[in-house]
Amino acid sequence: MYQVETTGYFDLVSSDLTFGGGRIDFYPAASSWLASGLPGVRQHPTVLMGSASGTNERPMPLSSAVGVISKAEVSVGPSRGTVLSEEVGSNSFEADVSVERDSLLMLKVTYHPNWRATVDGVETDTVMLMPSFIGVQLPPGDHKVLLEYRPRRLRMILLILGVLTLPLIALAEMRGEAFSRWFALRVMGPVSGLVNRHHG
């Protein structure tokens, strides 16, 4: 849906703007950001969907994003650091990063609250960055960052139940066919024989 200049799965970016709001205002805001000069200088506004509770800063309304982004200053600034290495697992991404100044490490994967981040082994909050990527705040220094997608427990239970149900349904159908054959041979056969004899 959106495309930005690729530098691998991870990138070090800034987030000088924070918006809060609903889905209706998100698409115009993201489109405005994409058309601006901000993606080119790695400035990715933070987006707080729905309630902004749990954050210290007061976000600007997402409905005002188009006007704010069009007036935002576009400047590259000094280097933020380097992503030294990346590793991709089945439900995880890992990076070794050398950070030169306060930055956000951005993972170019669609944001979802089920993504969990650890920085140097310590669990850390994630944020949503335009155009819907995952961000983790990092101070200067060398860091090992792990991002894992952890499905909710209920979803996992439902998934396991679903996997277990399929063979049970197949077994029930096989048993059902066997029962139908047994019923036809052992019960309906003799009954129809008796009926034929009675009529005969």
Amino acid occupying residue 43: Q
In whole angstroms, give the CA distance from residue 30 to residue 131: 6
User: How does pLDDT run across 121-175, given as a tens digit for each residue?
Assistant: 999 999 999 999 999 999 999 999 999 998 876 555 666 666 777 666 666 666 6
**Which two tokens mark 169?**
């349904």
Domain range summary for the chain, segments of one domain joined by +: 10-149, 153-200
Task: Mention every residue, 6+ apart, whose C-beta is less than 8 A from residue 78.
Answer: 100, 101
Q: What burial class does residue 94 get, using C-beta atoms within 10 Å of its C-beta: 0-12 exposed, 13-18 middle, 19+ buried?
A: middle
In this prediction, residue 127 carries a pLDDT of: 95
In whole angstroms, give the CA distance from residue 113 to residue 128: 9
In whole angstroms, give the CA distance from residue 18 to residue 61: 9
- The predicted model scores a pTM of 0.70
Specify the higher pLDDT residue, 174 or 101: 101
pLDDT mean across residues, the chain: 83
Residue by residue, DSSP assigns 11-34 as: EEEB---EEEE-HHHHHHHHHHHH
In whole angstroms, give the CA distance from residue 120 to residue 168: 44
Amino acid occupying residue 32: S
Q: β-strands 127-129, 18-21: how paired?
A: unpaired
